[in-house]
Amino acid sequence: MTSQPPIPPSQPDQPAEAVPTCYRHPGRETWVRCQRCERPICPDCMRDAAVGFQCPECVAEGNKSVRQARTTFGGAVVAAPRVTWVLLAVNVLAYVAELLNPQSVISRFSTNSYLIAYEGEWYRLITGAFLHAPPPSFWHILFNMWALYAIGPELERRLGHTRFAALYLLSALGGSVAVYLFGLAAVGASGAIYGLFGALFVVSKRLGYDPRGVLWLIGLNVLITFVVPSISWQGHVGGLITGGVLAAAFAYAPEKNRNTVQLGAALAVLALLVLAVAVLPPFAVLAEIANPTGG
């Protein structure tokens, strides 16, 4: 008899390693894992990372800790000056309405001190700032829209959408309030435009640019305001002061608590303008009533 080597005991079958599937798409097999949470992810869920790939949730979580880019004065970065284009469109559409029915539009929406004071039509303080001298006086809207197109985008990029919109609207309101107090009636975006002039000067100074060009621009337009008849100097001066003050608050607000300081300044300017209309009488209207013949 020949001896036989002992037969080793049979080994149990080893189970094959389970193929992982994407945690977001369970039907898709994948061997790629997120570098942060190590969950399996399929090609549709892979997001490029510094090393390897990450899942969408980890990418979103990481973005929360990334500081968002801001403008010089704290606003969100402006890719396109959308507020400027919207304001241009609203002014042009209002002028189209005037072309269709000038008397009705002007009489219902112009800044009229008497109707604001004695009929409570406060809305005219804003609507009048989007109207312009009716045809054939095309120069009025052409100048204002050219100025908005020329300097609006630059200021919007410096301030951000929200701050620029606040600057424009409060300057427009400041001009209308000055008309209410010291004038009789007016239309036009000139108060807002002069507010942008004032803001451009303040921003130039704050950034260390030579502001003499802006001063010449403001000086020339102020001269035209008082030389050319039928121009509302009240609206121009009111808008210029309002825009300059608000721009100074935006530009010189301390970096710490800057948003709070800027918001507080805007609300304070709004409150002062509303209070002026609520408390003070329309001086020019009272003078007209007291001396209707002008003698």
Helix or strand (DSSP H, E) at 54: strand 53-54
161 part of the active site: no
- Do 105 and 271 touch, CB atoms closer than 8 A? no
State both tokens at 35. Answer: 């570098």
Residue by residue, DSSP assigns 107-149 as HHHSEEHHHHHHH--TTHHHHGGG--PPTT-THHHHHHHHHHH
Q: Which amino acid is at 290?
A: A
Residues 6+ apart with CB under 8 A from 177: 125, 238, 273, 276, 277
Q: Which two tokens stand for residue 234?
A: 């009240």
CA atoms of 250 and 191, how far apart (whole Å): 19
Q: How far apart are alpha carbons 174 and 9 in whole angstroms?
A: 98
Is 190 among the residues known to form the active site?
Answer: yes
Return the bridge partners of 48, or none: 53
Instruction: Please identify which of the residues 113, 171, 190, 204 carries the catalytic annotation.
Output: 190
**Among positive and negative, which fits the CA dihedral 143, 149, 150, 151?**
positive
H or E element at residue 48:
strand 47-48
**Quick one: how far is CA 236 from the chain centroid?**
21
The active-site residue, picked from 132, 140, 161, 236, is 236
Taking CA atoms, 197 is separated from 75, 126, 191, 244, 279, in Å, by 20, 19, 10, 8, 29
Residues annotated as part of the active site: 190, 236
